[in-house]
């Protein structure tokens, strides 16, 4: 008879332990969901601000004559490299070194995840030697094209940026980066992938959140 109270105490203790852990798990899930919603709202705000920058500068299209230089120093018409929408990453040697390093590493992981054919990288190296030094220093194993200017109204901010380029030259989903938005850049890739490269019936269109659309 003496063992029964001890057994009951053990059962009660176990139930209390399970309840406490379940409650903590639920709180954690709610907190993670809330943080995700906040991140998405910040990303949407960032996207809308960047779209406004494009509108104000009147640079919403790449022309048929726009040239970039490949790693053999050969001129290429940029739009001839775009058979389907591409994510373009733009950086220059004037950007802060930690920013370039961070985003080159992120880009490498995103290329591995989503495929190299979805990306075009455009820097502004002066010659092949400078480009080779850069690729060796940053251990880059994907192609980099060069152009002294791309979207001039955005280049002037001297910060790396991303956008989606269509084969018609239209520019969409500009994402100007900074140290505070690094985590949002990962979300940016997910949204771009869902919108342009994966068929989803319930795909969210960020344009609906902006006043222009």
What is the pLDDT, as a whole number, of residue 108? 93
What is the pLDDT, as a whole number, of residue 45? 54
What is the pLDDT, as a whole number, of residue 1? 47
3-state DSSP assignment of residue 150 = coil
Taking CB atoms within 8 Å and a gap of at least 24, the contacts of 182-185 are 182/102, 182/103, 182/106, 183/39, 184/39, 184/42, 184/43, 184/46, 185/103, 185/106
Contact 162, 186 (CB under 8 A): no
Give the CATH number of domain 37-209: 3.40.30.10
The predicted-structure confidence for 40-94, as pLDDT tens digits, reads as follows 555 555 666 666 666 665 557 899 999 999 999 999 999 999 999 999 999 998 8
Residue ranges covered by each domain of the chain? 37-209
Report DSSP state, residue 177.
-
What is the pLDDT, as a whole number, of residue 37? 55
What is the pLDDT, as a whole number, of residue 194? 87
pLDDT mean for each 10 residues of the chain (213 residues): 60 64 62 55 58 63 93 95 96 88 91 92 92 92 94 85 94 80 80 78 47 46
φ/ψ of 151, rounded to 5, equals: -110, 100
């Amino acid at each position: 008879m003496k063992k029964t109270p001890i057994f009951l105490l053990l059962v009660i203790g176990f139930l209390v332990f399970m309840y406490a852990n379940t409650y903590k798990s639920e709180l954690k899930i709610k907190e993670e969901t809330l943080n995700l919603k906040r991140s998405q709202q910040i990303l949407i705000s960032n996207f809308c601000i960047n779209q406004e920058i494009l509108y104000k500068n009147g640079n919403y299209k790449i022309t048929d004559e726009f040239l970039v230089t490949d790693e053999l120093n050969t001129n290429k018409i940029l739009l001839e490299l775009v058979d389907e929408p591409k994510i373009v990453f733009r950086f220059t040697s004037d950007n802060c070194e930690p920013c370039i390093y961070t985003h080159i590493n992120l880009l490498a992981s995103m290329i591995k995840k989503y495929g190299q054919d979805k990306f075009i990288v455009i820097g502004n190296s002066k010659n092949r030697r400078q480009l080779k030094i850069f690729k060796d220093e940053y251990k880059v194993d994907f192609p980099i094209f060069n152009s002294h200017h791309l979207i001039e109204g955005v280049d002037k901010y001297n910060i790396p940026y991303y956008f989606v380029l269509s084969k018609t030259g239209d520019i969409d989903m500009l994402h100007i980066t900074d140290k505070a938005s690094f985590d949002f850049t990962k979300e940016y890739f997910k949204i771009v992938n869902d919108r342009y490269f994966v068929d989803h019936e319930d795909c969210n269109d960020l344009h609906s959140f902006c006043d222009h659309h």
